[in-house]
Amino acid sequence: MNLDVIVNLLVNGLATGMLIFLLASGLSLIFGLMDVLNFSHGGLFAWGAYMGVWVYVSTGSFLLAVVGAVLGGVAIGFILERWIIRPIYGNHLQQILVTLGVMLVLSELLKVFWGPNPLNAAVPPYLDGSWQLGGIILIKYRLFIIIVGILLLVGIQLLLTRTKLGLVVRAGVLNKEMVQALGYNIKRIFSIVFMLGAGMAALGGVLLAPYSGVIFSEMGMQFAILAFIVVVIGGMGSVQGSAVASVLVGLSGAFMAYYVPDLSLAVNMLLMVLVLLIKPSGLYGLKR
């Protein structure tokens, strides 16, 4: 077992894990706080990727691409929550049907705007290339994703633990009724969390585009399934749980793909089954 292989697999696994985390943490908060099964979340991820590539191609600025994609994601999230999700709060069956429908519509709309063929996405020049340390090759863009993921995790943790909004969100995950009885407009909190989750999903999408080099309209569903697995493993409503589970899923995927390729697709499911058997509420499942 070579050290350089292990380090490369670690970096790959962590980078993939961070991308999944960006998608899963929003999904987890939306489910934990709003009790909404949001299958359209993957659509926001794909829209983030497309909007980011479009802005990058148009302006040449990766920073603008990231900002544009996130703002676009937040705007779509606002529209979805206000006019599509809000009328179906509390009804899981309707949520599954409606959000799956929204996911399909979002995917098809991508084809309307950008055509049916996959788009190529380039890594910005200053993040392109790699560093070589002995036999270990560290790809710059993957390290960039890991750093962004860690910064976001810290940022969300600070938001949740150091601000009044975060306190209200954490309390809302535990007891929505009581939060209202203490004078907080839970619908407004729902909107903020939904938009935050949408923005993070879009950020995940825009960061994934150069990572994978090619984007396609159905990519959202592919990542949404991974994100749902992560939410179940980590525990509904726990950002910390999403982070740990994302890293677990990313790393196990990377290592299994290298050492036991036949099991690489099944490993996430196995992980989920194992966690559900040992702790059905997930690794960091909140007590309600």
Q: List contacts with another protein (CB under 8 A).
A: 164, 167-168, 170-171, 174-175, 177-186, 286-288
Q: Which is nearer to another protein, 97 or 167 (CB)?
A: 167
Q: Which is nearer to another protein, 278 or 287 (CB)?
A: 287
Q: Calculate the CA dihedral of residues 76, 82, 85, 88 and round it to 10 degrees.
A: -170
Q: Residue 89 Cβ, how far from another protein at the closest point, in Å?
A: 14
Cα(214)–Cα(194) distance, integer angstroms: 27
Helix (H) or strand (E) holding 245: helix 239-259
Q: Calculate the CA dihedral of residues 225, 15, 201, 175 and round it to 10 degrees.
A: 80
Q: Which is nearer to another protein, 123 or 171 (CB)?
A: 171
Question: How many CB atoms sit inside 10 A of residue 268's CB?
Answer: 22
Q: Which is nearer to another protein, 183 or 261 (CB)?
A: 183
Q: Which is nearer to another protein, 90 or 125 (CB)?
A: 90
Of 249, 254, 255, 285, the closest CA to residue 270 belongs to 249
Return the DSSP state at 106: H
Q: Residue 184 Cβ, how far from another protein at the closest point, in Å?
A: 6
Q: Residue 162 Cβ, how far from another protein at the closest point, in Å?
A: 11
Return the DSSP state at 122: P
Q: Residue 193 Cβ, how far from another protein at the closest point, in Å?
A: 16
Cα(30)–Cα(20) distance, integer angstroms: 15
Q: Residue 282 Cβ, how far from another protein at the closest point, in Å?
A: 14
